[in-house]
Every structure is written in C-alpha cells, then in structure tokens.
C-alpha cells in the first residue's frame, strides 16, 4: 500500500483508510472479514463517526476488532463528532468531551488516534474547541485532530486558536464529485464548474501540509449509489473497464487510482464492506495513471474542459 505523510508530520499513514459508516449493516463476523481484508492490503487506518448507524457501526467495530489478532497500535483509529442527527451541529466543549467518552466505550478503546469535527457548526467558538482538544490530549484520549467539510477560512479560524496543528480535512471527492478540481480548470469563466465550492482547500492543503481525506470515492450524489457498474453512467464505465483490462484489475482500482493520481497526496476513505471490493480498491494504490488516462476518465465522468 502506498504510504503518505500525515499532515505536517513525518508519520506515515496508508493512502487508503477503511470507512465504517456502513458497518452497522454487517454482523461482527462480516465486519472482521472486512477489517482483515483491509489490513492485509496495507490499510491500517479506520475512519468512523459517532453518528454512523446511530452508534451501531462503532459497536460492531468494537466487538469485531477486540477479538482480532491485530494489535491496537498497528491500527490508526479515527472517529468524528459534532453532528447531533436531525437536531444541530454541536462543537461545544461539553458535547465534544462527552462524545469522545461514548466513542471510546462503543469502540472498546482507550484512546483515539485522531478526532475529526464532522461538519462546520455555525456557532463554533474556536477557543472552546481548543479547550476541549487540550483536555482530550492531556487525558491521553486523543492523539491528533482534524476537521471535515471545512472551507479554508473556517479551517484557518479554528487553527489560529489551537495548540495542535490540524492534520486532516475530510471532503467529498470522486470521479462523480469533482468540485475541488473543476474550479481551478475553469478559472475566471462564468460556467457552473467555475464556481469555487470549497475555497480552493486543495491548494491550501498542499501549501500548509494538511491531509485531505476523500470521502465517498465510488459514489455519485450524496450516497445515491455507486457509479461503478451503474447503467446510468455508460461512458464512465466503458472507460473504467478499458483501463481495468489494461492494468488487469477491477473498476474500483481504477476509480481509486484516479483519486490517488492527484499530487496532493490525498487519503481515500473506502466505504465498502465487501472484501473483494476492498482488495480491488487497494490495488489502485499501485497504479499510476498517465496524464491522458486521468483526463480521459475525468471527461468520461461527464466533465468538460474549457
């Protein structure tokens, strides 16, 4: 598995992580098979969130992982907090501290390697977040911190009050969700792709050494389904198949290779719970698409260049 530097540190992390948002739909045994398939492919990084399956994903993970042979320190385990489903976003100190205690209990862990704030809270008080982070780190409950779905200004604002450097920003990115890169190629035009949707976070991340984590790498829309083998996307699937044949892998590997080909050293969050799909996705980390292949896929996904 390709390894990348984590944020501004010299620590290395795998270029793919296993996201457990969908683990609530699996048995403990099925979860173990998925975790083992990922681990054997070099994916020793887990991404979770307190809200996944209303907490059930983390419970299943805890039951599964605690019975496996993988040592705790060999797996980087991250979770997220800050969304109270259907009610509010909540970055209050009280909520963050309480949420971490619950995450640790559900996942049967003593500490998290990383805690990520899930979605910007309009009422965020950065100094209050800083207090929560300091307290969690001092108590040995969380090693590193990050954010998710933050734009550049929100990121800078929070960072300015923290004693820790933020390591991650988790953003949606796939062949069918390319806002982060469309903008740069449609600079100063008046068409739809020229809208700056993320305030150029990808460039900021490269300049300031923040790891961008790409969520939903095989999905179109927001969890509408996968574009892989989906009749709604014939051109894209034709192109994926052509390259899958060339590199002797499946389509997941090519869709993954497309994300990892970007020079920002993105970490991709694979959400599959199917060991075959996990293994095939991991093969994408070994493929370096040519520039032409990368652009052919971008265009086959329905994008255009000025």
Ligand X SMILES: NC(=O)c1ccc[n+]([C@@H]2O[C@H](COP(=O)([O-])OP(=O)(O)OC[C@H]3O[C@@H](n4cnc5c(N)ncnc54)[C@H](OP(=O)(O)O)[C@@H]3O)[C@@H](O)[C@H]2O)c1
Residues that bind ligand X (CB under 6 A): 19-22, 47, 118, 148-149, 170, 215-219, 223, 226, 228-229, 252, 269-274, 277
Q: Which is nearer to ligand X, 201 or 218 (CB)?
A: 218
By beta carbon distance, the residue nearest ligand X is 271
- Closest CB 128 distance from ligand X, rounded Å: 21
Beta strands in the chain (DSSP E): 3-5, 12-14, 16-19, 45-47, 76-81, 83-84, 88-89, 112-117, 142-148, 166-172, 211-215, 219-220, 225-226, 267-270
- Closest CB 277 distance from ligand X, rounded Å: 4
Q: Which is nearer to ligand X, 102 or 131 (CB)?
A: 102
- Closest CB 73 distance from ligand X, rounded Å: 21
| HSE-CB of 267 using CA atoms within 13 angstroms | 29
Q: Which is nearer to ligand X, 82 or 193 (CB)?
A: 82
How much of the chain is helix, strand and coil, in % rounded to 5? 45, 20, 35
User: Are 45 and 13 a contacting pair, CB within 8 Å?
Assistant: yes
Kindly name the residue from 39, 52, 204, 298 that is annotated as catalytic: 52
Q: Which is nearer to ligand X, 211 or 226 (CB)?
A: 226
- What is the C-alpha radius of gyration for the chain, rounded to an integer number of angstroms? 19
Question: Which residues does 178 contact at the CB level (< 8 Å), separation at least 6?
Answer: 298, 301, 303
- Closest CB 79 distance from ligand X, rounded Å: 9
Q: Which is nearer to ligand X, 175 or 186 (CB)?
A: 175
Task: Compute CA distances 293 → 66, 178, 255, 257, 298, whole Å.
Answer: 42, 16, 11, 10, 9
- Closest CB 19 distance from ligand X, rounded Å: 2
- Judge whether 52 counts as a catalytic residue: yes
Query: Which class for 201: exposed (0-12), middle (13-18), buried (19 or more C-beta within 10 A)?
Result: buried
Pairing verdict, β 225-226 and 12-14? unpaired
DSSP 8-state secondary structure symbol assigned to residue 125: -
**Distance between CA atoms of 109 and 128, rounded to whole angstroms?**
25
- Closest CB 138 distance from ligand X, rounded Å: 26
**Distance between CA atoms of 102 and 54, rounded to whole angstroms?**
12
Q: Which is nearer to ligand X, 136 or 268 (CB)?
A: 268
The helix/strand/coil state of 190 is coil
Q: Looking at the annotation, which residues are catalytic?
A: 52
């Amino acid at each position: 598995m390709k390894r990348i530097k984590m944020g501004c540190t010299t620590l290395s992390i795998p270029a793919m992580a296993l996201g457990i948002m969908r683990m609530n739909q699996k048995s403990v045994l099925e979860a173990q098979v998925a975790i083992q398939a990922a681990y054997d492919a070099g994916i020793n990084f887990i991404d979770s969130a307190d809200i996944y399956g209303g907490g059930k994903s983390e419970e299943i993970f805890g039951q599964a992982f605690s019975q496996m042979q993988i040592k705790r320190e060999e797996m980087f385990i991250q979770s997220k907090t800050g969304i109270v489903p259907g009610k509010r976003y909540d970055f209050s100190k009280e909520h963050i501290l309480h949420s971490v205690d619950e995450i640790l209990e559900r996942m049967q862990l003593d500490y998290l390697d990383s805690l990520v704030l899930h979605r910007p809270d309009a009422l965020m008080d950065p100094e209050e977040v800083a207090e929560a982070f300091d307290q969690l780190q001092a108590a040995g409950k969380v090693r590193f911190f990050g954010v998710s779905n933050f734009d550049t200004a929100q990121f800078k604002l929070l960072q300015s009050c923290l004693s820790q450097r933020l390591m991650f920003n988790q953003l949606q990115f796939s062949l069918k969700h390319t806002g982060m890169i469309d903008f740069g190629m449609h600079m100063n035009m008046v068409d739809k792709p020229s809208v700056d949707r993320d305030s150029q976070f990808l460039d900021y991340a490269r300049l300031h050494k923040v790891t961008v984590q790409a969520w939903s790498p095989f999905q179109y829309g927001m969890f509408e389904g996968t574009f892989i083998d989906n009749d709604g996307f014939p051109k894209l699937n034709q192109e994926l198949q052509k390259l899958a044949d060339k590199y002797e892998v499946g389509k997941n590997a090519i869709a993954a290779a497309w994300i990892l080909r970007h020079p920002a050293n993105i970490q991709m969050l694979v959400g599959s719970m199917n060991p075959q799909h996990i293994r095939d996705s991991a093969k994408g980390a070994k493929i370096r698409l040519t520039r032409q292949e990368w652009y052919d896929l971008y265009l086959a996904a329905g994008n255009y260049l000025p």
